[in-house]
């Protein structure tokens, strides 16, 4: 069931939808064909309630006040890093010695780490499961796989851990073909999908899904044998054009296509893979006109942030929810299923499953 964080009226409407869902079930029959009568008009957005966080983890670290807020990134609910690299509103690295901190308990405590190249023209931080990577331009990359105790220095192409974190199968940049990561490089597959305008590939086990766009129309193909052969899967037409088509896998294995609009702000087109070769359009009656981020969170649910606030697509409708987030938060799902919500001035972790989440705000205060 949806849990205590939905508005009461929304919860009543949504409970029957969720009761019919089972985790991992991607073979539900398509919805009944619409009748000849016109669909109901979208409802006006309901004003969200102001709700608090379940927990605020606020820690003071030994960083001078002249430093701006840090860039914080988590790999999972426990492991994260914070990079202080901007001072007095200037871009990172401009007259500011970089300071690095790490946490292994979800931000309850932070330990100082020795930054391998604290003085550089630009500083960036990347966190992936089992590793933290720093880019200190123009000196190159610094990778740690032991929690920031030691760093290995490389130059040129991205470190292997960053490439590997994107998955075993990836679109090779500049070649528009799918490659398989062998631990050191991406090798093109012998069989390639017939997908115009190839953008992305997603995979889970032996299932591969390739997607692309040409002239505003979406295309997709699937492979059930690790990319040795491909089957074209028609994507039903939707209103409006698509600019970018992304393959996204939910934590329960459900496969989605997210069609970003050409203007990158319009509410996206959505499809769900049903069975082995059928894409079912995901309706979202009552959705806002725009969306900032869309994140599949399991059991047929899609979390959405937009200028109207936060909502969830479920059972063909869009529901406003009273999560303690704003439309400025950008949602991603971490490796362990945790929702990471990044805002202009904060980062929030949503732990739990599907829509039942504990919301934890992480704050690093400077001395």
Tens-digit pLDDT profile for residues 87-111: 998 888 878 999 999 999 999 999 9
pLDDT mean over 226-246: 94
How far is Cα 179 from Cα 188, in angstroms, rounded to an integer? 4
How far is Cα 311 from Cα 318, in angstroms, rounded to an integer? 7
Peptide bond into 324 cis (omega under 30): no
Would you state the pLDDT for residue 91?
A: 86
**Closest Cα to residue 286, out of 50, 48, 40, 47?**
40
Q: Is the pLDDT of residue 10 over 50?
A: no
3-state secondary structure of 113: strand
Question: Of residues 30 and 299, which shows the higher confidence score?
Answer: 299
Q: Are strands 356-366 and 55-61 parallel, antiparallel or unpaired?
A: parallel
pLDDT mean over 255-276: 94
Question: Of residues 22 and 258, which shows the higher confidence score?
Answer: 258
Range list of H helices, the chain? 8-19, 160-165
pLDDT mean over 304-322: 96
3-state secondary structure of 198: strand
DSSP bridge partners of 179:
170, 188
Would you state the pLDDT for residue 118?
A: 97
Other C-beta atoms closer than 10 Å to the C-beta of 207 total: 17
**Closest Cα to residue 165, out of 181, 143, 189?**
181
Confidence of residue 28 (pLDDT cuts 50, 70, 90): very low
**Closest Cα to residue 233, out of 210, 204, 256?**
210
* Cα distances (angstroms) measured from residue 17 to each of 226, 310, 319: 33, 19, 12
20-24, 257-261, 270-274: range with lowest mean pLDDT? 20-24
3-state secondary structure of 17: helix
C-beta of residue 166 within 8 angstroms of C-beta of residue 173: no
Q: Is the pLDDT of residue 6 over 50?
A: no
How far is Cα 261 from Cα 238, in angstroms, rounded to an integer? 11
Q: What is the mean pLDDT of the chain?
A: 87
Query: What are the tens digits of pLDDT across the range 151-209?
Result: 999 999 999 999 999 999 999 988 989 999 999 999 999 999 999 999 999 998 889 99
C-beta of residue 350 within 8 angstroms of C-beta of residue 357: yes
Question: Of residues 249 and 18, which shows the higher confidence score?
Answer: 249
Confidence of residue 50 (pLDDT cuts 50, 70, 90): low
pLDDT mean over 111-124: 97
Question: Of residues 16 and 67, which shows the higher confidence score?
Answer: 67
3-state secondary structure of 54: coil
Q: What is the pTM of this model?
A: 0.84
Would you state the pLDDT for residue 332?
A: 96
DSSP bridge partners of 231:
222
How far is Cα 200 from Cα 235, in angstroms, rounded to an integer? 15
Would you state the pLDDT for residue 206?
A: 84
Would you state the pLDDT for residue 187?
A: 96
φ and ψ of 9, to 5 deg: -65, -35
89-93, 122-126, 192-196, 354-358: range with lowest mean pLDDT? 89-93
Residues shown for the chain: 367
| Percent of the chain's residues with pLDDT above 70 | 86
Q: Is the pLDDT of residue 342 over 70?
A: yes
φ and ψ of 42, to 5 deg: -55, 140
Confidence of residue 121 (pLDDT cuts 50, 70, 90): very high
- Give first-to-last CA distance, the chain, whole Å: 43
φ and ψ of 127, to 5 deg: -120, 130
């Amino acid at each position: 069931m949806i849990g205590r964080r939905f508005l009461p009226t929304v919860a009543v409407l949504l409970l029957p939808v969720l009761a019919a869902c089972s985790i991992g079930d991607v073979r539900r029959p398509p919805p009944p064909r619409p009748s000849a009568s016109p669909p109901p008009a979208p409802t006006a957005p309901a004003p969200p309630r102001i709700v608090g966080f379940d927990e605020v983890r606020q820690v003071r670290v030994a960083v001078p006040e002249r430093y701006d807020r840090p860039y914080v990134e988590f790999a999972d609910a426990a492991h994260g890093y914070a990079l202080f690299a901007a001072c007095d509103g200037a871009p990172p690295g401009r007259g500011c010695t970089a300071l690095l901190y790490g946490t292994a308990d979800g931000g309850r405590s932070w330990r100082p780490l020795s930054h391998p190249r604290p003085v550089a023209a630009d500083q960036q931080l990347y966190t992936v499961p089992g590793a933290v990577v720093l880019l200190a331009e123009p000196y190159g990359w610094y990778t740690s796989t032991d929690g920031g105790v030691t760093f290995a220095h490389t130059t040129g192409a991205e470190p292997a851990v960053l490439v590997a974190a994107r998955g075993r199968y990836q679109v090779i940049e500049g070649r528009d073909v799918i490659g398989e990561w062998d631990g050191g490089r991406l090798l093109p597959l012998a069989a390639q999908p017939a997908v115009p305008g190839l953008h992305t590939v997603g995979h889970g086990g032996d299932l591969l899904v390739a997607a692309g766009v040409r002239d505003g129309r979406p295309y997709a193909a699937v492979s059930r044998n690790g990319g040795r052969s491909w089957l074209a899967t028609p994507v039903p037409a939707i209103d409006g054009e698509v600019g970018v088509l992304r393959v996204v896998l939910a934590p329960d294995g459900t496969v989605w296509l997210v069609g970003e609009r050409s203007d990158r702000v319009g509410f996206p087109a959505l499809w769900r893979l049903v069975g082995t070769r059928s894409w079912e359009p995901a309706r979202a009656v009552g959705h806002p006109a725009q969306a900032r981020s869309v994140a599949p969170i399991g059991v047929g649910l899609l979390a959405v942030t937009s200028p109207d606030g936060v909502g969830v697509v479920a059972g063909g409708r869009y529901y406003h929810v009273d999560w303690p987030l704003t439309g400025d938060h950008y949602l991603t799902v971490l490796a362990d299923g945790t929702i990471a919500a990044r805002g202009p001035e904060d980062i929030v972790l949503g732990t739990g499953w599907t829509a039942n989440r504990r919301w934890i705000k992480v704050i690093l205060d400077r001395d």
